Structure 1
Amino acid sequence: MTDSMKITNYTQEFITDDNKPFDSAHASTLLELKDGGILAAWFGGAWEKNPDVAIWTAIRDKDGWGQPVKAADVRGIAMWNPVLFRKEDGKIILFYKVGKLISEWVTWYMESEDEGHTFSEPQELVPGDIGGRGPVKNKPIRLSDGTVLAPGSLEGELWDGFVDISKDDCRTWERSDLVPLHRLAITDKGVHNVQVIDRPYDRHYIYGKGIIQPTLWEDRDGKVHMLCRSSSSRIIRSDSEDGGRTWCLAYDTGLPNNNSGIDLVKLKNGDLVLVYNPRENLPGYYKGPRTPLSVALSRDNGETFEIICTLEDQRGDYCYPSVICNDDNKIMITYTWKREKIVYVSFTLED
């Protein structure tokens, strides 16, 4: 499938140096700026969930990465999972979560009119909502009719995926139906995270809590699709024929998943680029190793993927990728490096 695909202009670098103003960094997002620069954001602090965790941003221009800037902070409450997106009016919107527990998340957002140098005062995305509306980790997409879909999920005793739908350029949101799941509880004591191996198999069976953190694309026929992180040792897919309002019963793609975040982007020609850890959960455990971190390409609307590049393959924690592209087939990726730093990668795909 990828015999003629060539990777050129490869760049890989840390966004911050060793003198960064936080010990831990995770859950990055990125956006290409109008002048060709890059805006990145992530959460950073002593460690995940710590009350000092804030949202940080940095800008890459022709001279490299600028110093990180604390963009959002709520004293005494942890912050999580920033997501960047450009609105139709040209403003950049930065979504993020606030809350001590994931089940208590409130989604806030800020806007920038100067390409990420400054942001407006924060506002709640959906006033009064608890649990996390809007994008949970990965970027929204804009459909061919202008509708914005934000990939969301809920994390409590069970995990469920959905999309938030905006018809007015991110001003108001309507939540879709939850993605239907055929969950299998392994014992009568409740839902447990397990490996698929040696269990009854059906492509619609979901073992464990469920699915979270979707990544989205719209195909040439106007259908919308999602791939999801799962507790089932596989990347799980669902499809929508009505613009994301309802979804088919979720099913196994056959791609391994280590219960860690993934992301995908659609290229101008319709090909898909997926960044993920091609590992399953460890036997008897609910997670798997977060290495290697690989890039895969699909030329058949996500039916099959072939790994074309490995970003990291040493022992360590390399995870939570974010990926975007431009019309020149330039692929831009950020990801977590050992929970200490954020790495930026860019390359061009050529046939």
Structure 2
Amino acid sequence: MDGKMRATAPGRTEAFLPSPTVQNHAANLSLLPDGTLACVWFGGTMEGMGDISIYMSRLAPGSDVWSEPEKMSDDPQKSEQNPMLFNAPDGKVWLLYTSQTSGHQDGAVVKRRISADGGKTFGEVAVLCEIPGTFVRQPIIVNDRGEWLLPVFRCIGVPGARWSGDADTAAVLISTDAGASWTMHDVPDSIGAVHMNIVPLDGDEMVAVYRNRFSEQVLRSHSSDGGRSWSAPEPTDLPNNNSSVQAVRASDGRLAIVYNHANASMSEDRRQSLYDEIEGEETEAPAEAAEPVGRKAVWGVPRAPLSLAFSSDGGERFGGRIDLETGDGFCLTNNSKDGLNREFSYPSILATPDGAIHVAFTYFRRAIKHIRLSPGTF
């Protein structure tokens, strides 16, 4: 994989990002201050293993080749996952990611590194949030009051059981001092709503879309106070297979969402948990106890097709679906070494000032694929 962008259809170019690892997952796109398109993701042998680290590749302005990736984290005792980049108002670039032991997401903490030179180099690793079980996936949003909103999901351990996502909830970490300190604000009635993705509309109006642990529908909630408080998540008309979604406002004002058009009602495929291939006999107490909620997270529903849809009413209704990748989406294993996984998943979407839409996503857990759609193709 040489990282070169190639035209595959009118108005569509694609590239597989170079990587030194056999497994690559959970891409996030961002524009750096100088206009460089950056992509961060995690790579190693298998999600949850100690060799899972954060990587970053860049597509410089005017270039059609993604750079060789730089390793951005390297704790051999931790699985470092779900990275994202944030352009702070002061010009610094933040890299955030999670850090956990094995498959124990209920023990994860959030770490960060900061760049003072536009994302060229990054400073030392520090812990941003040490509340165990705090997980990130989606970008920081700055509201009109200058408050930083970091959507998180809280991986809650159920007593007597390994973490499997059954009791996870959503929250927003808010900073009023440019990231020096944060306070946790829970989203009400949000069991099963994770990967909260905040999209500003106008003024203090914001919407959020969510992954659904129970593999039913993409969820949505609303804020009228700049993201400090949120309505309870409710189903949209889009299916969700307990895999990540991401949304952004396109240049024409529509809400564009990239997701898998699949849910549990469309397939009987199931697996025990996300980490059932690496879980051994070791035990680790849950970070936070919760009463059994009576529902189990649904894992293993195929992660395909990878689709793009649009909304003109802030996510209340979606249409105009475009399938970006099609296949069987087999994900009953995370095995990349033997090529057993065939998912298209964990998409990131970015609307750039030239009117284009960029999508980066997991391709068979072997590679990160980038697609650029020119204006007029969507």
Same fold (TM over 0.5): yes
Q: Which residue of 2 aligns with 1:94?
A: 95
- Structure 1 counterpart of 2:70, one-letter code: V
**How much has 1:263 moved relative to structure 2?**
0.2
What's 2:40 paired with? 41
CA distance in 1, matches of 2:139, 2:195: 10
Of 222, 234, 245 in structure 1, the residue corresponding to residue 217 of structure 2 is 234
- Deviation at residue 283 of structure 1 after TM alignment: 4.1
Scaled by the length of structure 2, the TM-score of the pair is 0.78
- How far 1:332 moved relative to its partner? 1.6
Q: Of residues 295, 304, 312 in structure 2, which corresponds to 1:299? A: 312
How does 1:24-173 map onto structure 2 within 5 Å? 24-61=23-60, 62-100=63-101, 101-126=104-129, 128-132=130-134, 136-156=136-156, 157=158, 158-173=167-182
Deviates more, 1:105-114 or 1:237-246: 237-246
What SS is found at the alignment partner of 1:164?
strand
CA-to-aligned-CA distance 1:135-183 (integer Å, 9 cap, x gap)? x1111222233222111101224010111112233232121123324xx
Structure 1 residues without counterparts, runs of 5 or longer: 1-6, 182-208
Residue type matched to 2:56 in 1?
A: T
Runs of 5+ unmatched residues, structure 2: 1-8, 159-166, 271-297, 329-341
1:215 to 193, 197, 200: 197
CA contact (8 A) 1:8 1:349 kept: no
CA 1:243–1:35 in structure 2 vs 1: closer, same or farther (change >3 Å)?
A: closer
1:310 aligns with 2:336: no
One-letter code of the match for 1:47? M
Say if 2:362 is the partner of 1:336. yes
Aligned to 1:264: 247
The count of aligned residue pairs is: 312
Which structure has the highest strand share of the two?
1
Change (3 A) 1:284 1:343: closer
Give CA deviations for 1:96-122 in whole Å, capped at 9, x if unaligned. Answer: 011111101111000112333321001
Q: Could you tell which deviates more after superposition, 47-56 or 296-305?
A: 296-305
Deviation (angstroms), 1:13: 0.9
| Letter in structure 1 aligned against 2:307 | S
Contact 1:220 1:270 in 2 (8 A): no
Q: Give the deviation of 1:284 after TM superposition.
A: 7.8
- Give the match's secondary structure for 1:145: coil
Equivalent position of 2:284 in the other structure = none
Q: Any idea what SS the aligned residue of 2:219 has?
A: strand
Deviations 1:55-103 (A, max 9, x none): 1111112151111111111122111110111001111100001111110
Query: What letter is aligned with 2:82?
Result: N
- Match in the other structure for 2:12: 10
- Give the distance between the partners of 2:53 and 2:22, measured in 1 at CA: 12
Confirm or deny: 8 A CA contact 1:226 1:239 kept in the other structure: yes
Q: Secondary structure at the match of 1:247?
A: coil
1:177 aligns with 2:186: yes
CA distance in 1, matches of 2:98, 2:34: 29
> How many angstroms does 1:226 deviate by?
1.0
Percentage identity across paired residues of the two chains: 30
Kindly state the Cα deviation for residue 347 of structure 1 after the two structures are TM-superposed.
Answer: 1.7
Distance, in Å, in 1 between the alignment partners of 2:178 and 2:369 is 30
Per the TM alignment, residue 210 of structure 1 is displaced from its structure 2 partner at its CA by: 1.2
* 1:203 equivalent in structure 2: none
- How many angstroms does 1:277 deviate by? 0.2
How far residue 334 of structure 1 moved from its aligned partner, in angstroms, is: 0.9
Q: 1:77, 1:228 → 2: CA distance?
A: 26
Equivalent residue, structure 2, for 1:188: none
Please name the residue that 2:373 is paired with: 347
Distance 1:338 1:221, change over 3 A: same
* Corresponding letter in the other structure for 1:296: A
CA drift at 1:8: 6.5
- One-letter code of the match for 1:71? M
